[in-house]
């Protein structure tokens, strides 16, 4: 079993505290710490970092922390704590930025369609309400993007996963519901392509930020590839 390294240990502790404490104290930090759409009144630039420590459910935090431990431990052992934490936060930050950019594109595409149909922007924004469901596809798309904040360490963990696949290509991985060992160099790209497919189609199950996963994996791969190629080391 992998030894719990210092950097990962502290990340897990912070995640657990921010998951358990609000429930015990009956507080809701979603408006403050989750990543909101930039046009939303609750948006704050700090949320690109803080959303990585917020989780929607026990299973959500469980799988993310397990992935962080399982795939991040050999990376931190290889890179050291400071370098690993830099990598982790860079992947998470990149995931949030790419997720926002994709949402902005989808939001403005829907907005343009509605404006061209004769509805003013001010009228459209007045309809943005988290308690409403609209039959109009464009209006519902905008309303969901505007009012649904992103939470979770998944983007950063996907960056860790991409780096693990780059450094440990022949490690055997398997899904819980499909326990067939597959080499990381095949397993991880298939997972990321799956996110791309579900993110671009209507077949996604649940409210999953697929493009945050893709963004984290992309940034993580770029950084890890650069480090591996140049043998970058910190002291």
Would residue 157 count as lying in a domain? yes
Would residue 49 count as lying in a domain? yes
Three-state DSSP state, 123: helix
Question: DSSP readout, 172-214?
Answer: EEEETTEEEEEEHHHHHHHHHHHHHHHHHSS---SS--HHHHH
Three-state DSSP state, 150: strand
Tens digits of per-residue pLDDT, 152-184? 999 999 999 999 999 988 887 766 655 777 888
CATH number of domain containing 211: 1.20.1540.10
Would residue 206 count as lying in a domain? yes
CA dist., res. 148 & res. 140, Å (int) = 12
Tens digits of per-residue pLDDT, 108-149? 999 999 999 888 899 999 999 988 999 999 999 999 999 999
Would residue 235 count as lying in a domain? no
**Sorting pLDDT into bands at 50, 70 and 90, what band is 2?**
low
Strand partners, 183: 172
CA dist., res. 205 & res. 203, Å (int) = 6
Beta strand 172-175 with 178-183 is antiparallel
**Sorting pLDDT into bands at 50, 70 and 90, what band is 235?**
very low
Q: Are 154 and 213 in contact (CB under 8 A)?
A: yes
What DSSP designation does 71 have?
A: H
Would residue 1 count as lying in a domain? no
CA dist., res. 3 & res. 5, Å (int) = 6
Per DSSP, helices labelled H in 6-135 are: 6-25, 30-33, 47-50, 58-79, 81-116, 121-126
Would residue 185 count as lying in a domain? yes
Q: What is the pLDDT of residue 103?
A: 94
CA dist., res. 25 & res. 35, Å (int) = 22
* Euclidean distance between the first and the last CA atom of the chain, given in angstroms as a whole number: 27
Would residue 64 count as lying in a domain? yes
Phi/psi of residue 206, nearest 5 degrees:
85, 175
User: What is the reported pTM?
Assistant: 0.89
14, HSE (Cβ side, Cα atoms, 13 Å): 14
Would residue 55 count as lying in a domain? yes
With vertex at residue 38, the alpha carbon angle to CA 32 and CA 39, rounded to the nearest 5 degrees, is: 105
CA 232 to centroid of chain Cα atoms: 26
Domain that holds residue 107: 6-230
| Length of the chain counted residue by residue | 235
Nearest to 171 by CA among 160, 182, 159: 182
Domain count for the chain: 1
């Amino acid at each position: 079993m992998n030894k719990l390294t210092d950097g990962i240990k502290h990340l897990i502790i912070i995640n657990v505290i921010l998951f358990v404490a609000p429930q015990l104290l009956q507080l809701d930090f979603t408006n403050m710490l989750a990543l909101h759409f930039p046009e939303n009144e609750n948006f704050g630039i700090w949320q690109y970092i803080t959303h990585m420590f917020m989780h929607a459910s026990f299973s959500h935090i469980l799988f993310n922390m397990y992935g962080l431990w399982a795939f991040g431990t050999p990376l931190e052992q290889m890179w050291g704590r400071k370098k690993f934490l830099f990598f982790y936060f860079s992947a998470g930050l990149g995931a949030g930025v790419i997720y926002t950019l994709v949402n902005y594109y989808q939001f403005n595409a829907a907005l343009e369609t509605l404006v061209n149909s004769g509805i003013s922007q001010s009228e459209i924004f007045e309809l943005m309400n988290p308690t409403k469901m609209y039959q109009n596809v464009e209006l519902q798309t905008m309303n969901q993007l505007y009012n649904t904040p992103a939470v979770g360490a998944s983007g950063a963990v996907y960056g860790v996963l991409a780096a693990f696949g780059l450094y440990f290509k022949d490690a055997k991985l398997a899904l819980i519901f499909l326990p067939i060992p597959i080499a990381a160099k095949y397993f991880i790209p298939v997972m990321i392509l799956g996110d791309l497919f579900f993110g671009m189609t209507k077949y996604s199950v649940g409210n999953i930020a697929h493009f945050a996963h893709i963004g984290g994996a992309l940034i993580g791969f770029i950084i890890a590839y650069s480090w591996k190629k140049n043998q970058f080391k910190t002291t």
